[in-house]
Amino acid sequence: MKRTRPELHPSIDARRPERRRLIQLLLGAAAFVGSRLLTTVAAVLVFAATAQATGVVSVGEILAAPGPAAPVGFLVGAAFSVLGFVLVVRFVSRRRVAEFSREGAPAEVGLGLLIGFGVVAGSVAVLAAAGVYRVAEVHLGWGVLTAVMFGVGPAIVEEVFFRGFLLRILDGWIGSWGALSIVSVVFALVHSFSSPAGPVAAVYILLSASLLLNMAWFLTRRLWLPIALHLAFNASQSAVFGLNVSGSEAGDGLLRADLTGPDWLTGGVMGGEGSIVLIVIALAAGVVMTLVGIRRGVMLPRTSRLAAS
């Protein structure tokens, strides 16, 4: 009996022709930088209009401080990022924006939230059982909203660029496996530039998040699953369990906890993503998603991709 190749998500043709790929990539990079800049500008303006602080306050302190500044800033940056993607795909590639089509979106968002939260909650459960993570108090205030938006804003902005632009374009140019490798490394390196953990942060991100998020794209070739997964991954750490995200303070979590133990367990300055427990669980989830992707035939070689274009 002849085996047939598994179909991709019915709402998107993986072999859809793309126009002006280089221009799309350059505009995507510009939108990524612009989104981060607008996040900062909007947050600073709101902070200046509403805060009672005196003296010099850094941008990092503003984005981590309770109050409306950070949520507004992250919301503005995310909206600009999505708008930029839609305009580039619609008017430069001149095709339907299938990456944000509504068909199948609720299921993909739900699955992404479940995976992202599950990875973090599972690692915290292991740390709690080992006596490393101990809840000190439950807290609810502006800081929790800040922590939520610290997860939501960057997740949208980063997924739109790294998966929506960079991975998609490279997938067409060099094939899925090459694109997966390059974007995994670039994604990790970019995070290391802004992390107080320094260059070692790239290793943590590469192991804990890169494969997971890239495969979330390949399984659907849409943005709902990777955005929801990334959002839940970040927000669970910051807004629920009170952990730093990629080494950055991110407001106050619903749970305020004490972490005791060696850095390889607690994550040290890196936060949850520096813990060997979270790394192992996230990497395992990424491997499972990769195996599912291989079975479904979503990883396309360069020749197939170009022939299909």
Q: How far apart are CA 234 and CA 153, in angstroms?
A: 10
Q: What is the pLDDT of residue 223?
A: 97
10: its two tokens:
């019915």
Nearest to 219 by CA among 162, 161, 169, 290: 290
Q: What is the pLDDT of residue 16?
A: 60
268 Cβ neighbours under 8 A, 6+ residues apart: 197, 274
Is residue 115 within 8 Å of 269, Cβ to Cβ? Answer: no
* C-alpha distance from residue 166 to each of 98, 110, 136, 182 (Å): 16, 24, 42, 9
* C-alpha distance from residue 181 to each of 89, 187, 188, 195 (Å): 24, 10, 11, 22
Nearest to 14 by CA among 230, 307, 292, 211: 307
- For CA atoms 276, 282, 285, 291, give the dihedral sign: negative
Is residue 305 within 8 Å of 13, Cβ to Cβ? Answer: no
Q: Is 297 strand, coil or helix?
A: coil
DSSP-assigned states of every residue in 149-197? HHHHHHHHHHHIIIIIIIIHHHHHHH-HHHHHHHHHHHHHHHHHHH-TT
The one-digit pLDDT tens for each residue of the chain (309 residues) are 444 443 444 444 454 668 899 999 999 999 999 999 999 999 999 888 887 555 557 777 777 777 788 889 999 999 999 999 999 999 999 999 999 999 889 999 999 999 999 999 999 999 999 999 999 888 777 677 777 888 889 999 999 999 999 999 999 899 999 999 999 999 999 988 877 777 888 898 999 999 999 999 999 999 999 999 999 999 999 888 988 877 666 557 788 888 889 989 988 888 888 899 999 999 999 999 999 999 999 998 874 444 444
Is residue 241 within 8 Å of 267, Cβ to Cβ? Answer: no
Is residue 297 within 8 Å of 220, Cβ to Cβ? Answer: no
242 Cβ neighbours under 8 A, 6+ residues apart: 147, 252, 253, 254, 255, 256, 257
- For CA atoms 233, 82, 248, 288, give the dihedral sign: positive
DSSP-assigned states of every residue in 18-70? -S-HHHHHHHHHHHHHHHHHHHHHHHHHHHHHH----S---HHHHHHSSSSHH
Q: How many residues does the chain have?
A: 309
| DSSP one-letter code for 240 | I
